[in-house]
């Protein structure tokens, strides 16, 4: 049977994609950021999963104001890197796992989650930058990916509690897939940042670290953080962190932390990541 073996929460900062693509990851600015991912990159190398369910948000690359799916699952065979204004990133295409994705889609829909099924889309920095952070610059990504896109751009966006419940349903779906597969689930986005308006540049080290604590120690509080708290404390784009709750909800009640890193600043954000294993 398929099994969720670990979860990763991580920022998905577009500038880090540029740093990787331009080979700048060791300079004074980027060095400490990439150093923080070193343990995790090694861990991924030593025990790579077969598939990553990669929860991320599209930033008006595949979707626009014409269609705004709350939760969309990629059931295609492959996905191309999106052109976000500077041409597509020079990274490999992302290979999907259509059988697993269709199985998850069916299980989620029969479990009362009304997923949008996507067979064709380009994937932007929300998906490709975490792949670069975890796997560097391979000729081919070493894992298959089931993209799961969440609307956190246009309100109304889903609540943290709904995201958590979706994570739990994803775990049920994976566990009922008959093939032996090692599956990781990643939740990306955040941490605190606001890209526009009078509060542009807002960062909140204390709140971000409290959020990382809650993922381990008080999951009931984590899943019930209201939208207004993300907005007030972490800026308008901090709401991306609800996607970490899909990852965390899929891991069960108790987790063991394997790694945690936090660094300020990175581009316009605080960058953080956490690696968790189910411990039930
Ligand atoms: C930045 C961070 C993001 O998560 C994003 O989606 C876009 C921009 C930034 O720091 O510039
Ligand atoms: Fe983002």
Distant-in-sequence, close-in-space partners of 248: CB < 8 Å, separation ≥ 6? 7, 9, 164, 167, 187, 215, 219, 222, 255, 276
Please state the pTM of the whole predicted model: 0.98
Tens digit of each residue's pLDDT (9 = 90 or more) over 219-275: 999 999 999 999 999 999 999 999 999 999 999 999 999 999 999 999 999 999 999
Distances (CA, A) of 184 to 126, 203, 248: 17, 29, 11
Write down the pLDDT at residue 141.
98
- Domain count along the chain: 1
Angle at 8 between CA 203 and CA 22, to 5 degrees: 70
Residue 199's CATH number = 3.40.830.10
**12 Cβ closer than 6 Å to some ligand 1 atom:** yes
pLDDT for residue 127 is more than 90: yes
Whether residue 280 is predicted with pLDDT greater than 90 in this model: the reply is no
Q: Mind listing the pLDDT tens digit for each residue in 94-112?
A: 999 999 999 999 999 999 9
Contact (Cβ atoms closer than 8 angstroms) between residue 230 and residue 245: no
For the Cβ of 162 lying below 6 angstroms from any atom of ligand 1, the answer is no
Instruction: Please tell me the predicted confidence (pLDDT) of residue 114.
Output: 97
* 193 labelled catalytic: yes
Closest ligand 1 atom to residue 269 Cα is 10
Q: Is 12 a catalytic residue?
A: no
12, 125, 261, 263: which is the annotated catalytic residue?
A: 125
Distance 36 CA to ligand 2 centre (A): 19
User: What is the CA(108)–ligand 2 centre distance, in A?
Assistant: 25
Residue range(s) defining the domain that contains residue 93: 3-278
- Alpha carbon of 14 to ligand 1 centroid (Å): 6
Beta carbons of 262 and 208 less than 8 angstroms apart: yes
Distance set, CA 85 to CA 60, 63, 88, 137, 258 (Å): 11, 15, 8, 21, 36
Centroid of chain to Cα 17: 15
Instruction: Read off the pLDDT of residues 16-56 as tens digits, 9 standing for 90 and up.
Output: 999 999 999 889 999 999 999 999 999 999 999 999 999 99
127-140: average pLDDT: 97
Quick one: pLDDT at residue 90? 97
pLDDT score for 81: 98
Determine the pLDDT at residue 25: 85
């Amino acid at each position: 049977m398929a099994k969720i073996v670990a979860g990763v929460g991580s920022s998905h900062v577009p500038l880090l994609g540029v740093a990787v693509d331009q080979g700048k990851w060791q300079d004074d600015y980027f060095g400490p950021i990439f150093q923080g991912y070193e343990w995790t990159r090694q861990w991924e190398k030593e025990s790579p999963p077969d598939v990553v369910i990669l929860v991320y948000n599209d930033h008006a690359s595949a979707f626009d104001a014409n269609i705004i799916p709350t939760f969309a699952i990629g059931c295609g065979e492959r996905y191309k890197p999106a052109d976000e204004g500077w041409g597509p990133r020079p990274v490999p295409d992302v290979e999907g796992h259509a059988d697993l994705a269709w199985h998850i889609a069916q299980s989620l829909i029969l479990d009362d989650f009304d997923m949008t099924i996507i067979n064709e889309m380009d994937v932007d920095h929300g998906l490709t930058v975490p792949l670069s952070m975890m796997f560097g610059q391979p000729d081919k990504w070493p894992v298959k990916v089931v993209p799961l896109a969440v609307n956190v751009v246009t309100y109304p966006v889903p609540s943290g509690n709904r995201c958590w419940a979706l994570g739990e349903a994803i775990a049920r779906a994976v566990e009922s897939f008959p093939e032996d597969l090692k599956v990781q689930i990643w939740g990306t986005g955040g941490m605190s940042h606001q890209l526009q308006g009078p509060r542009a540049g807002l960062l909140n080290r204390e709140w971000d670290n409290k959020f990382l604590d809650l993922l381990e120690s008080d999951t009931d509080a984590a899943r019930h953080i209201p939208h207004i708290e993300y907005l007030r404390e972490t800026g308008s784009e901090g709401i991306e962190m609800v996607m970490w709750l899909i990852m965390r909800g899929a891991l069960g009640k108790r987790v063991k932390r394997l790694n945690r890193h936090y660094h300020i600043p990175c581009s316009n954000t605080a960058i953080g990541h956490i690696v968790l294993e189910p411990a039930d």
